[in-house]
């Protein structure tokens, strides 16, 4: 893992931390998206009673590397993620994959991040790099969302162990 980030407001970028505390069924202490019910502003306006399937946002650092090669200025945390990873193909994981992080924490993947035009407000043209088409199919690279199934302290140097669910695997959809 490369970094852990949070923001107490619904700002786009999250700030680097030495440690974040994950709370079972809630998310990350002090983060604007922490809570049992949906916190994403657009989704909360539509139905504030929905369960929060977006408690933790993870992005693989390889996306940041790719954007940097293409001329964007972006660092871990800039795209609103809580956890930056390296060496794990997050986008290929099925629903229900459990990420064992550090000593105690477990995050269960619920789906893909829905990316919006706010990314182009951050840096013009970035959205078309994060949501692309390959052979006519929409490909989303903006990270994955998850829920906290076991809490604990998480630090940038913690190891992540991937545990796939029993099959058949369900591909990730936007949550």
> What pLDDT shows up at residue 101?
98
Residue 41 pLDDT more than 90?
no
Task: Report the CATH number that the domain containing residue 77 is assigned in CATH.
Answer: 2.40.33.20
Q: What is the pLDDT of residues 112-163, one digit of tens each?
A: 998 877 898 899 999 999 999 999 999 999 999 999 999 999 999 999 999 9
Structural domains of the chain, count: 1
Given the DSSP bridges, would you call strands 83-85 and 56-60 parallel, antiparallel or unpaired? parallel
CB 156 within 8 Å of CB 97: no
Domain residue limits at 122:
3-163
| Average pLDDT along the chain | 94
For residue 129, give both structure tokens: 């790099």
Half-sphere exposure of 48 (CA within 13 A, CB side): 2
156 lies in some domain: yes
């Amino acid at each position: 893992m490369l970094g852990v980030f949070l923001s107490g407001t619904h700002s786009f970028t999250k700030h680097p931390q030495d440690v974040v505390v994950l709370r079972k069924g809630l998310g990350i202490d002090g983060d604007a998206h922490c809570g049992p019910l949906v916190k994403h502003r657009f989704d909360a306006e539509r139905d504030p009673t929905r369960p929060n399937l977006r408690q933790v946002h993870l992005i693989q650092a390889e996306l940041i590397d790719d954007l940097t090669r293409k001329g964007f200025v972006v660092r871990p945390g800039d795209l609103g993620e809580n956890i930056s990873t390296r060496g794990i193909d997050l986008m290929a994981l099925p629903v229900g994959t459990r990420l064992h992080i550090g000593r105690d924490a477990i995050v269960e993947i619920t789906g893909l991040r829905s990316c919006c035009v706010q990314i182009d407000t951050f840096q013009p043209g970035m959205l078309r790099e994060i949501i692309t088409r390959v052979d006519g199919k929409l490909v989303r690279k903006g990270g994955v969302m998850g829920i906290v199934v076991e809490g604990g302290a998480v630090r940038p140097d913690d190891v992540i162990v991937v545990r796939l669910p029993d099959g058949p695997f369900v591909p990730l959809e936007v949550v």
